[in-house]
A and B are shown apart, each in its own frame.
Chain A
Amino acid sequence: MPGKLKVKIVAGRHLPVMDRASDLTDAFVEVKFGNTTFKTDVYLKSLNPQWNSEWFKFEVDDEDLQDEPLQITVLDHDTYSANDAIGKVYIDIDPLLYSEAATVISGWFPIYDTIHGIRGEINVVVKVDLFNDLNRFRQSSCGVKFFCTTSIPKCYRAVIIHGFVEELVVNEDPEYQWIDRIRTPRASNEARQRLISLMSGELQRKIGLKVLEMRGNAVVGYLQCFDLEGESGLVVRAIGTACTLDKLSSPAAFLPACNSPSKEMKEIPFNEDPNPNTHSSGPSTPLKNQTYSFSPSKSYSRQSSSSDTDLSLTPKTGMGSGSAGKEGGPFKALLRQQTQSALEQREFPFFTLTAFPPGFLVHVGGVVSARSVKLLDRIHNPDEPETRDAWWAEIRQEIKSHAKALGCHAVVGYSESTSICEEVCILSASGTAAVLNPRFLQDGTVEGCLEQRLEENLSTRCGFCHIPYDELNMPFPAHLTYCYNCRKQKVPDVLFTTIDLPTDATVIGKGCLIQARLCRLKKKAQAEANATAISNLLPFMEYEVHTQLMNKLKLKGMNALFGLRIQITVGENMLMGLASATGVYLAALPTPGGIQIAGKTPNDGSYEQHISHMQKKINDTIAKNKELYEINPPEISEEIIGSPIPEPRQRSRLLRSQSESSDEVTELDLSHGKKDAFVLEIDDTDAMEDVHSLLTDVPPPSGFYSCNTEIMPGINNWTSEIQMFTSVRVIRLSSLNLTNQALNKNFNDLCENLLKSLYFKLRSMIPCCLCHVNFTVSLPEDELIQVTVTAVAITFDKNQALQTTKTPVEKSLQRASTDNEELLQFPLELCSDSLHSHPFPPVKAVTVEKASPVGDGNFRNRSAPPCANSTVGVVKMTPLSFIPGAKITKYLGIINMFFIRETTSLREEGGVSGFLHAFIAEVFAMVRAHVAALGGNAVVSYIMKQCVFMENPNKNQAQCLINVSGDAVVFVRESDLEVVSSQQPTTNCQSSCTEGEVTT
């Protein structure tokens, strides 16, 4: 019995009128945890009741503490009939279970009803007393910290990064139980919310246990998802990266000084570098291998792999073979051996992180992905979710073997997703194959010699671009050149990855969001036929998506993609593919060649003319884009290079003829490596369309940039104004004779218009950048396409931006001189110095919403709710792991919330738009309220993982499910920090004053 949960209900406000006669409400509250329920007195006739209850005490196991949510129900007392429910509040008490996180949850929570939305607020105080439990065989995992952030959280230091943890839990979906026919929609929604809350608690606890087994103390990059499988049940699954983290305790670490405690694990002092430095190295070729396997979940699980990799593929690149470079060989071998030993014990050497401590990534091999089509079947025994486990294990195995084929032992930036339509389910997993530095993977330190070598190698800043595989034994055809930075190692011509851009990578110009969009019609079919049809379509989609990405990348004059995310969505009669990534020009990679157009019928004069016209347009676009994104790589003459680079201008070729891509070869050649010109052959109208669509992509208006990574490459002078938003659009396709082309156009327009709308809406923030742009596509019905975008707009200082644009030139100058190895260290230092010398741009006074900076000191002392009676404090939300211009001083715990909203009066609520708009606003409000109650003032790594919207306009009904998560944090403005640190004793006063100021 190791815990005591204490709850106090203080007051309510803005309650709805429940008694029409008196226009008042007789409210009371039920507090439920597990199977115990307490009630407050009835507070008669008030819309602002003051219950001021005693402390309700629950004595519970810590297992329950982790699984169960605290459930608070506000009711209206009725003498004669049944009491009417006003609404509920679910509070996840998990944050109270770690020693360093929140100590009390206290504040105003919106009272939420699944039918009516938010109906007033309630003030609640929750505390937990934990007793030490020495039981070794315990089922709970209290104390393991969870972070959604996909990098090492700001105020921590990674001691060891253990690796992949996963778990899934299944249950029957209450919505599909027989009892649902007789109960009210409210009861059914609440049952669902409660069940999911319970399941995610259980899941988190189980993952925690695995982490404890690995002797870690935290999960970073925790991603939890729900699969609503309909009739066949409800799956909650999660993946994450187990770590052992050390809190950087000294307050000095908060200061934006460069004196971080440990040399290697330097906490990045500037917030504009959200990612700990990473050296990923890697090359190339994008989407390596895909496997499409379709197995009806029945007994015969046939593996119809239509792509190249087979699981038996042995690492062709076992030992280094000297060919990789002058000094690379022996070192690589050594490294590989070591890593291998470290990783081989692991079932899946996967990491959900997308940004890494410096030195962690050695080389990057490219994107690996795998998909599989499955038929859903009722889960017969929820306690043994073997089928689902087996499915995922299969896919992970694939990924692992793909990575091996690329000469890599690990996969970073790993993520998993599903798309379900009726009984068909596409499981997808993707990541970036990489070679890692073993230092972080095991206890005990590595021998100094190797360490040194490593460090040296890493310090070249281009190491991550170098190929990890053996040149003579390449897993796929690729064009290699010597690295444009160090001239010693080989690099591929393009590099696709799912991770964030390493902060120390040398980038020329700015980056931009690149999207590939694709629709494919599919015949309606049942069960196995349907699944087969889908798995037949998948390879073509992947190919097309990849081609589009490649073309667009070339059109932008860039040579690498980061944060690549390909989403394939399945609907009744179509498949949708949407790939988003951030394109950049990596200085280490060769300049991309242009795009050549070739016609099929060379004898036709007018046709020729047309072709040349198109060619001109394309060339113009490339030139324009280069200017727009400030891509002006230094011209390096061959003499300086002095190394045998075969062709300075790399060209790759894409053959766009049906015969070649549709043939039955098992090898799907997605790397257009071998060919010497990137040629688009216009042989049919299809191809014409493609070229047109290439050219119709409009760049964002001036003053705007967009990317889907954490930060925009090439911009580092963020100011503090941020605006997170979610935008949802649904279009109805006219069902008449839809062709693939019309569909593509519709989809393309939808996305482009959505982006345009965003630019227009946020025009007041110019100059700004849309970061972490996250598109999600779903096909809720036959003719409906739903696109959901969540992103954050961050303003930056234009003047400083001008200064920084000079740096590439400087850098390139430095680079030219790095021929000499002795000089190598020098420019590096120079660069970092210059970085330090402009501290973060003085936070501009433009803060529209000045957040209340809760000082650390203040925080500790907050026994009473700080803004209990005052107005609402500002809570920032951002999908990024950092807040520009501010320092995160404390992580308060994970926020993981699931809401259902339903209405039977859709028209009255302003139609579907009004309904969803209000609901999303309510979800934001509830997230903010929870964060504020934990004592935080921001949510970082916020993500809306699911937004399932269903409507039935004929019945005037609609339903929506939303699942969001993020990390609640306390941040302090850097400008305030200086004040705080210089006047330590007055911290409390200081911050409370500021708070007051804000709230009035």
Chain B
Amino acid sequence: MTSELDIFVGNTTLIDEDVYRLWLDGYSVTDAVALRVRSGILEQTGATAAVLQSDTMDHYRTFHMLERLLHAPPKLLHQLIFQIPPSRQALLIERYYAFDEAFVREVLGKKLSKGTKKDLDDISTKTGITLKSCRRQFDNFKRVFKVVEEMRGSLVDNIQQHFLLSDRLARDYAAIVFFANNRFETGKKKLQYLSFGDFAFCAELMIQNWTLGAVDSQMDDMDMDLDKEFLQDLKELKVLVADKDLLDLHKSLVCTALRGKLGVFSEMEANFKNLSRGLVNVAAKLTHNKDVRDLFVDLVEKFVEPCRSDHWPLSDVRFFLNQYSASVHSLDGFRLECGGTIWAHCNLHLPGSSNSPASAFQVAGTTSVHHHAQQFFCIFSRYRVSPCWSGWSRTPDLR
């Protein structure tokens, strides 16, 4: 006696969350059944393995049919074939678009092309995520990218509108899309210790402050591409390190302000010129695409690593960067020479005393670049950045 056909169709489509997760994780029916058996469901319900098999097959079939609709979530809401309560629809979409941290770190900043897709089996072996699941996640990234690529308006809003994702997930997708578009290098060994959350945080600030959308909100593609003009203007910051008087003045201003407040004051004082040069050079190079891609690598090399080797605590880094940018305001020469052009842009407004829970960022003596980056971006931000400081409330381990 073999079962030829075995189906169950409810007027309200039944969705089993556990099976959905197994399906999303890319398990085959056999594996899923085995996993379910291990979860002890048979004992709880008194069912047999055959029943479980049939149930799993059935759910898989339903999900398979739903997948087409999940590719365009608004369709799921308007379709007539599956009657699914709204809360369940939201769950289906949210889970379908959720991604694995390990996976996203592998593809973040890579071009979402066929070539990358071919490498997915490597990623799969490396991360232990099934190839099926990798493909789904990759295709999700690519799909979202394709849809919002050429759109006007806020990136996050667009993603939310076209994919009906929760706010947080939409923000994450915005970061992924932004990174993929600008092809930031994130895979280098040096950057391995950074989490997706760190990058996502940076991406959010960059979208708010560095993109075309930050200037004029009525452009195609506005939140995805960096504002070339702004990057061009950043070149003029070079004066900060090129002009020796200015550099000394800047240093003395910073040092005066920070004396006694910094645990690593002497190291700072000794390294000030190097650090300043490093930061300004990174900024000035951003007119070249290649250097843009290497932004994070450069930052780590030029700023984070020196700090780390001197064992700067995080709070000191923050103090320093705050003061570093604030002091520029009072540089007469700077203001005059640059005719205020940059300063109009770089109206640095940093919160004097940030109340971020610094201790939380301290990881085994290693300062997270996360916060360096934050400071860094603010240095280059063009507007009163108060809104972007809402980012402070985020904890770094938040994805």
**Interface residues in chain A, defined as those with a beta carbon under 8 Å from any beta carbon in chain B:** 13-14, 108, 110, 118, 121, 701, 723-734, 746, 749-750, 753, 756-761, 763, 784, 786, 848-850, 871-872, 874-877, 910, 912-914, 916-918, 920-922, 924-926, 928-929, 949, 998, 1000
Structural contact, A753 and B10, CB atoms closer than 8 A? no
Complex: A749 Cα to B65 Cα, angstroms = 29
Q: Which of B51-59, B150-158, B250-258, B283-291 contacts A (4 or more CB under 8 A)?
A: B51-59
Minimal beta-carbon separation of B184 from chain A (angstroms):
32
Structural contact, A875 and B65, CB atoms closer than 8 A? no
Q: Is B397 an interface residue (CB 8 A)?
A: no
Say yes or no: A757-B55 contact (C-beta < 8 A), given A871-B78, A872-B80, A922-B81: yes
Structural contact, B61 and A913, CB atoms closer than 8 A? yes
Q: Is B46 an interface residue (CB 8 A)?
A: yes
Say yes or no: A723-B51 contact (C-beta < 8 A), given A729-B5, A914-B61, A917-B61: no
Interchain CB contact (< 8 A) of B4 among A121, A731, A914: A731
Told that A753-B50, A913-B5 touch, could you supply 11 new A-B pairs with CB distance under 8 A?
A: A13-B78, A701-B46, A724-B10, A729-B3, A732-B4, A753-B48, A784-B4, A848-B12, A874-B85, A920-B7, A920-B9
Q: Is B79 an interface residue (CB 8 A)?
A: yes
Say yes or no: A727-B7 contact (C-beta < 8 A), given A733-B1, A921-B65: yes
Say yes or no: A928-B51 contact (C-beta < 8 A), given A725-B8, A746-B1: no
Structural contact, B83 and A731, CB atoms closer than 8 A? no
Structural contact, B4 and A730, CB atoms closer than 8 A? yes
Instruction: Note all chain B residues with C-beta closer than 8 A to A726.
Output: 8-9
Structural contact, A763 and B80, CB atoms closer than 8 A? no
Interface string of B49-78 (1 = CB under 8 A from A): 011101101100110110000000001011
Interchain CB contact (< 8 A) of B9 among A121, A759, A917, A949: A917
Minimal beta-carbon separation of B69 from chain A (angstroms):
10
Q: Is B6 an interface residue (CB 8 A)?
A: yes
Instruction: Note all chain A residues with C-beta closer than 8 A to B65.
Output: 914, 917-918, 921
Structural contact, A701 and B45, CB atoms closer than 8 A? yes
Structural contact, A753 and B78, CB atoms closer than 8 A? no
Q: Which 5 A-B pairs have the closest CB atoms?
A: A730-B5, A725-B10, A730-B4, A724-B11, A920-B9
Q: List 12 A-B contacts (CB under 8 A).
A: A14-B78, A118-B80, A726-B8, A727-B8, A727-B9, A731-B2, A732-B1, A734-B2, A849-B85, A871-B78, A916-B5, A924-B11
- How many pairs, one residue from A and one from B, have CB atoms within 8 Å of each other in the complex? 141
Minimal beta-carbon separation of A723 from chain B (angstroms):
5
Structural contact, B45 and A763, CB atoms closer than 8 A? yes
Which B1-25 residues sit within 8 Å CB-CB of chain A? 1-14
Which residue from chain B places its CB closest to the CB of A746 in the assembled complex?
B1
Complex: A701 Cα to B43 Cα, angstroms = 12
Which residue from chain A places its CB closest to the CB of B80 in the assembled complex?
A925
Structural contact, B2 and A848, CB atoms closer than 8 A? no
Which residue from chain B places its CB closest to the CB of A792 in the assembled complex?
B11
Say yes or no: A917-B7 contact (C-beta < 8 A), given A749-B1, A753-B50, A929-B80: yes
Complex: A870 Cα to B236 Cα, angstroms = 54
Complex: A910 Cα to B50 Cα, angstroms = 20
Minimal beta-carbon separation of A563 from chain B (angstroms):
22
Complex: A763 Cα to B45 Cα, angstroms = 8
Instruction: Note all chain B residues with C-beta closer than 8 A to A729.
Output: 3, 5-7
Say yes or no: A110-B9 contact (C-beta < 8 A), given A760-B47, A918-B65: no
Instruction: Note all chain A residues with C-beta closer than 8 A to B13.
Output: 921
Instruction: Note all chain B residues with C-beta closer than 8 A to A850.
Output: 85
Instruction: Note all chain B residues with C-beta closer than 8 A to A121.
Output: 80
Q: Is B82 an interface residue (CB 8 A)?
A: yes
Structural contact, B7 and A928, CB atoms closer than 8 A? no
Say yes or no: A753-B85 contact (C-beta < 8 A), given A14-B79, A724-B11: no
Structural contact, A928 and B83, CB atoms closer than 8 A? yes
Structural contact, A848 and B46, CB atoms closer than 8 A? no
Minimal beta-carbon separation of A931 from chain B (angstroms):
11
Structural contact, A725 and B5, CB atoms closer than 8 A? no
Q: Is B86 an interface residue (CB 8 A)?
A: yes
Complex: A910 Cα to B83 Cα, angstroms = 21
Structural contact, B83 and A728, CB atoms closer than 8 A? no
Complex: A872 Cα to B12 Cα, angstroms = 13
Minimal beta-carbon separation of A523 from chain B (angstroms):
22
Complex: A723 Cα to B2 Cα, angstroms = 28
Instruction: Note all chain A residues with C-beta closer than 8 A to B47.
Output: 756, 759-760
Which residue from chain A places its CB closest to the CB of B5 in the assembled complex?
A730
Interface string of B303-339 (1 = CB under 8 A from A): 0000000000000000000000000000000000000
Complex: A949 Cα to B5 Cα, angstroms = 11
A763, A921, A929, A1000, most chain B CB atoms within 10 A: A921
Minimal beta-carbon separation of B399 from chain A (angstroms):
28
Complex: A916 Cα to B55 Cα, angstroms = 16
Minimal beta-carbon separation of B54 from chain A (angstroms):
5
Instruction: Note all chain A residues with C-beta closer than 8 A to B9.
Output: 725-727, 917, 920-921, 924
Complex: A756 Cα to B6 Cα, angstroms = 13
Which residue from chain B places its CB closest to the CB of A875 in the assembled complex?
B83
Complex: A920 Cα to B7 Cα, angstroms = 10
Instruction: Note all chain A residues with C-beta closer than 8 A to B6.
Output: 728-730, 757, 913
Which residue from chain A places its CB closest to the CB of B69 in the assembled complex?
A14
Minimal beta-carbon separation of B43 from chain A (angstroms):
12
Structural contact, A910 and B11, CB atoms closer than 8 A? no
Complex: A877 Cα to B61 Cα, angstroms = 22
Instruction: Note all chain A residues with C-beta closer than 8 A to B2.
Output: 731-732, 734
B45, B79, B80, B81, most chain A CB atoms within 10 A: B80
Instruction: Note all chain A residues with C-beta closer than 8 A to B8.
Output: 725-727, 757-758, 761
A746, A757, A848, most chain B CB atoms within 10 A: A757
Complex: A876 Cα to B9 Cα, angstroms = 14
Complex: A727 Cα to B58 Cα, angstroms = 11
Instruction: Note all chain B residues with C-beta closer than 8 A to A924.
Output: 9, 11, 81, 83
Structural contact, B5 and A912, CB atoms closer than 8 A? yes
Instruction: Note all chain B residues with C-beta closer than 8 A to A922.
Output: 81
Complex: A926 Cα to B80 Cα, angstroms = 8
Complex: A506 Cα to B216 Cα, angstroms = 78
Structural contact, A734 and B78, CB atoms closer than 8 A? no
Which residue from chain A places its CB closest to the CB of B59 in the assembled complex?
A761
Complex: A877 Cα to B11 Cα, angstroms = 7
Structural contact, B10 and A849, CB atoms closer than 8 A? no
Instruction: Note all chain B residues with C-beta closer than 8 A to A871.
Output: 77-78, 86
Minimal beta-carbon separation of B81 from chain A (angstroms):
5
Minimal beta-carbon separation of B387 from chain A (angstroms):
29
Complex: A729 Cα to B64 Cα, angstroms = 20
Structural contact, A731 and B3, CB atoms closer than 8 A? yes
Instruction: Note all chain A residues with C-beta closer than 8 A to B45.
Output: 701, 760, 763
Minimal beta-carbon separation of B212 from chain A (angstroms):
29
Structural contact, A728 and B1, CB atoms closer than 8 A? no
Which residue from chain A places its CB closest to the CB of B6 in the assembled complex?
A729
Complex: A756 Cα to B50 Cα, angstroms = 10
Minimal beta-carbon separation of B344 from chain A (angstroms):
45
Minimal beta-carbon separation of B11 from chain A (angstroms):
4
Structural contact, A760 and B55, CB atoms closer than 8 A? yes
Structural contact, B83 and A874, CB atoms closer than 8 A? yes
Structural contact, B7 and A728, CB atoms closer than 8 A? yes
Instruction: Note all chain B residues with C-beta closer than 8 A to A108.
Output: 80
Which residue from chain B places its CB closest to the CB of A789 in the assembled complex?
B8
Instruction: Note all chain A residues with C-beta closer than 8 A to B52.
Output: 760
Structural contact, A921 and B82, CB atoms closer than 8 A? yes
Instruction: Note all chain A residues with C-beta closer than 8 A to B10.
Output: 723-725
Minimal beta-carbon separation of B76 from chain A (angstroms):
10
Minimal beta-carbon separation of B384 from chain A (angstroms):
37
Complex: A108 Cα to B62 Cα, angstroms = 23
Complex: A910 Cα to B4 Cα, angstroms = 13
Instruction: Note all chain A residues with C-beta closer than 8 A to B86.
Output: 871, 998, 1000
Structural contact, B81 and A921, CB atoms closer than 8 A? yes
Complex: A568 Cα to B86 Cα, angstroms = 43
Instruction: Note all chain A residues with C-beta closer than 8 A to B54.
Output: 757
Instruction: Note all chain B residues with C-beta closer than 8 A to A724.
Output: 10-11
Say yes or no: A761-B1 contact (C-beta < 8 A), given A725-B9, A877-B11, A928-B83: no
Instruction: Note all chain B residues with C-beta closer than 8 A to A725.
Output: 8-11
